[in-house]
Amino acid sequence: MTEPRSRRSLAIVGAVLLGGCVPALPHGPARAPNRQVPTSFGVPSDPQNSALVDWREYFSDPPLLALIDHALSHNQELNINVQEMLVTNNEIMSRRGEYLPSLGLRAGAGLDRVGRYTSQGQADEHTGVAPDLQGYSFGLYASWEVDIWRRLRNSIDAARYRYLASQEGLNFMVTRLVAEIASRYYELIALDRQLEIVRSNVELQQSALEMVRLQQQAAQVTMLAVRRFEAQLRAFQSQQFDITQRIVETENQLNLLVGRFPQHVERRAEGFLEREPSAVHAGAPAQLLENRPDVRRAELELRAASLDVAAARARFYPALHLDAGLGYQSFDAGRLLATPDSILYSVFAGVMAPLLNRSGITAEYFSSNSRQMQAVLRYERTILAAYVDVNTGLNMLRNLSQSYALKAQQVEHLTESVQISTLLFNSARADYLEVLTARRDLMEAQVSLVETKQRQLTATVTLYQALGGGWRPAGPRALSPQSADAGAAR
């Protein structure tokens, strides 16, 4: 057989052995993720996208901007995630250390005694070597696993993707923190406005109670009317304390998010009902893949999981190890540095391949494939959840706008009904129950109007977060998936 044919035959045999040493996956390899998204959110397409707007420009209240800015530096949970990101960065260093050759310094001293009636003992006796033989050595040693199948490099790249994913996780937390602070801020202003409404109604009810008492003294109404007016006044006064407690709780929640002990929260409460919700531009659904940090994180984790499978598969292949040493060794400390007689060196190359009892690496291979399939499903679910969030937010804004307009008309009509019922009652043409009902309905409608305005403002914040806004200027500048590819290649 000629030499080229023999080489070709060895190559074929080697390929067959390598291919046959990897077990088949029980459920097949993980499939590719589905990255398709609808072409629109169910509304006319918008060329602009509010996710690209800086949160300092999206929000206009200076107190709110100050709260967010303080929270991005002092929020404890956010800083905990920063440390988690540093941990993943250290993992890259650890994986890179496994890939590079290792070099160390070794020194030792000892005593060795062999049996007299052994081959070495007899030889030492004939050559005059003492039975208690001392030994001294020191020198350099090196070892290196040649990464033929990219197992170690794939592990490094997987760690790098996970580090980038942790950056995106931090960015996602920034968006949540910005949105939660803004939502709590609007809730606090709404509670202030509700407290003003209740206090105003308490004053009106006190005036009405005094009038009813005068009418009772003039025998125009009975004591029952006085007691009913008093009961409603106490209900209004009790509601003041309920709202006051909610204000305290909301302030404390804001202070916790900001990272400070409870204190008064500055806010701009005037003109709450006249505030117009910020205009939100949804852009195209495909932009969610780039703007949403959680989608970007899921994609990076998917790439890391794919590399984990490749690294686990490479463990079935033969591994090439190189070991070398250079130093001095002698049984006499005085002659340890005798050159070249005491010089010791060694070079060794070995190939190891797993043959029997491969259950450990087989289980890891199967588990890596299952984790990759989990990453695929998690990525698809994240995209689906992102689309649903935006679609829900857009519909909520539209419906709340119509609801607010109708509730404003309701408050207007009830205000007129209170005036009419009061005039009729004073002229003895209406029952006091009609006055009480009209006043109660008006206050409930006013409070409901404020709540609807709060939901409008909160919906704009939620939609801004759903689009992926709020992390770019304040959070760490994470690399895009394309940049991650370039980094992994390095």
Domain extent at residue 333: 105-146+319-352
How many CB atoms within 10 Å of residue 330? 18
Residue 19 lies in a domain: no
Which runs of consecutive H residues, i.e. helices, occur in 100-150? 119-127
Would you state the pLDDT for residue 215? 85
247 in the same domain as 116:
no
Range of 31-40, 117-126, 251-260 with top mean pLDDT? 251-260
Residue 450 lies in a domain: yes
The residues that bridge with 106 in the sheet, in sequence order, are: 139
Name the residue with tokens 């689906």. 384
According to DSSP, residue 264 is labeled: P
278 in the same domain as 130:
no
Distance in angstroms (rounded) separating the CA atoms of residues 370 and 27: 9
338 in the same domain as 191:
no
Which runs of consecutive H residues, i.e. helices, occur in 220-274? 223-258
Residue 13 lies in a domain: no
Residue 7 lies in a domain: no
Distance in angstroms (rounded) separating the CA atoms of residues 440 and 404: 20
Q: What is the CATH number of the domain that holds 32?
A: 1.20.1600.10
CB 110 within 8 A of CB 333: no
pLDDT in tens, 37-81: 999 998 777 889 999 999 999 999 999 999 999 999 999 999 999
Pairing type for strands 319-330 and 132-146 reads antiparallel
Would you state the pLDDT for residue 11? 47
The average pLDDT across 289-315 equals: 96
Query: Which has more confidence, 271 or 3?
Result: 271
How many CB atoms within 10 Å of residue 402? 9
- Confidence class of residue 381 from pLDDT cuts 50, 70 and 90? very high
pTM here is 0.85
% pLDDT > 90, the chain: 71
247 in the same domain as 175:
yes
% pLDDT > 70, the chain: 92
Tokens of 189: 């202003």
Q: How many residues does the chain have?
A: 490
Instruction: Tell me the CA distances in angstroms from 368 to 30, 156, 309, 396, one per residue in order.
Output: 10, 16, 5, 41
Handedness of CA 122, 126, 128, 129 (dihedral sign): negative
460 in the same domain as 383:
yes
The average pLDDT across 324-337 equals: 90
Give the mean pLDDT of the chain.
Answer: 89
Residue 15 lies in a domain: no
Distance in angstroms (rounded) separating the CA atoms of residues 154 and 92: 11
Residue 358 lies in a domain: no
Q: DSSP secondary structure string, 2-40?
A: -HHHHHHHHHHHHHHHHHHTSPPPTT-SPPPP-----SS
Which H/E stretch holds residue 86?
helix 76-99
